[in-house]
A = this chain, B = another copy of it.
Amino acid sequence: MARLADPALAQRRRREIVEAAMTCFRKRGFHQASMHEICAAAGISAGALYRYFPSKADIILTIAEEDQRATEALIESIAAGADITESLVNIARDVVCRCGENQPLTADVLAEAMRDPALAKRFAGRILEMQERLARAIAAGQRRGSVERSVDPDTAARLVTLMIDGLVLRAAIVGAEGGEQLAAAFRTFVERVLKPAQATSPRRTARLVVSPES
């Protein structure tokens, strides 16, 4: 990689390349998409590309980190929201609607992480961090009364991240119409696990006996 005079240009080019690479990777996967394809998509030559990225692996790494940061931002916004349960449901809808956009990439990143122990370690660390943050938010919600008190915050946080992972990967497969059902299912999940019992939870066994849902 030669010396780069203009940092602004370099940054712009790198972004263009990453963007082009993401398109290619989405369509064909990390290891099936070729550098030539990426060059074509970015509208530059191979020589030019290698001025801004030292290797294909480096592009992949950059994208993997970006993907991770996106999920992180998602969790962050959940933790920041006032009503966790509502935030969660909204996020889920976002995820399933953004169908087939970044999910293939996420799956690829995941597959990559499973083989590369170093990447897996980093992944595990981030997941743990997110879970802890979420757990704190849930605990805060419990103190405020917006979250069911009988749940262990750590467990609940684990469940939520697991469910979101499942959601992301499934959404890409079932397509748009299935997404609605997924979102609805997720709402049920949140209500069952996080919503306080006395609020609007459908688990009111006694009510069924008296008069189910007037």
Main secondary structure of the interface of A (DSSP, over half): helix
A133 to chain B, nearest CB (A): 17
How many copies of this chain are found per oligomer?
2
Q: Mark A147-187, 1 if CB is under 8 A from B, else 0.
A: 01111100110110111111101101111001001101110
Q: Is A127 an interface residue (CB 8 A)?
A: yes
Q: How far is the CA of A184 from the CA of B158 in the complex (A)?
A: 10
Q: Determine which of B27, B127, B184, B206 lies in contact with A204 in the assembled complex, contact meaning CB atoms within 8 Å.
A: B206
Q: Is A212 an interface residue (CB 8 A)?
A: yes
Q: Which of A48-56, A80-88, A103-111 contacts B (4 or more CB under 8 A)?
A: A103-111
Q: Which residues of B have CB within 8 Å of A115? A: 27-29, 104
B150→A202 contact, CB < 8 A: yes
